[in-house]
Amino acid sequence: MKHLFLAAPLILAAAVSAQAATFTIFDDQDAFAAQASNVTPVELSADSSVLTITGADVRFNDGVLRDRINLNDAPDTVFTFNQAVLGFGGLFDLSPFGAGAGISLTVTVGDASFALAETIAPETAGSFFGFLSDTAFTSFSLSEGTGGLPVETYELSNVVSAPAPIPLPASLPLLAAALGAFAVLHRRQGRA
């Protein structure tokens, strides 16, 4: 019986960590901003201090990202934030270079990867696409979608993110409780 009580916290911790993240997709920037608690513009440049974008064909021009995703069933372009965020969005334009494959997104939360249910359609022309998560993340990747052609070339601009709130250290409430207990003990000793 003692072993059962010792194993219960481990089983509970495993169940909690196995939860999947939930994502909400937006095609309207105002709706995205209304749902997110805090929306911050993100600079698109090779030397951005907030967001690093890596990929073989990534190019920046006056705040616009130009990129090409190739058919290889692997993440072609990776977006990595310097702090955790709950959401990302921007104006995607897949039309200037002709029809393509569209874009699939995969979000990395801890050690797990989640493919978003919706893709960015090949005919998207300067439209907002964004997503919010109930779980903070620091990176996501783009790969070719399921459209007819094996390549997708796109432009991305007016990027926004929803930074995750910085959590209090887990020990802070314990410290506050301990200091309160010391204050109560000190007051009681002073009366005696």
- Per-residue pLDDT in tens (0 to 9) along the chain, 192 residues: 444 344 444 343 444 444 579 999 999 999 999 999 889 999 999 989 899 999 989 999 999 999 999 866 567 899 999 999 999 999 999 987 777 889 999 999 999 999 999 999 988 999 999 999 999 999 999 998 887 777 889 999 999 999 988 766 666 676 677 777 777 777 777 666
CATH tag, 19-167: 2.60.120.430
pLDDT of residue 74: 64
Residues 6+ apart with CB under 8 A from 94: 100, 102, 103, 120, 121, 122, 123, 124, 125, 152, 153, 154
Specify the DSSP element, H or E, that contains 191: helix 171-191
Report CA-CA distances (Å) from 179 to 171, 172, 182, 184, 186: 12, 11, 5, 9, 10
Tokens of 27: 């095609």
Classify residue 47 by its DSSP letter. Answer: T
Share of the chain above pLDDT 90, in %: 55
Give the integer Cα–Cα distance in Å for 8 and 13. 9
Predicted TM-score (pTM) of this structure: 0.76
Instruction: Break the chain into its structural domains and give their ranges.
Output: 19-167
The terminus-to-terminus CA distance of the chain in angstroms comes to 45
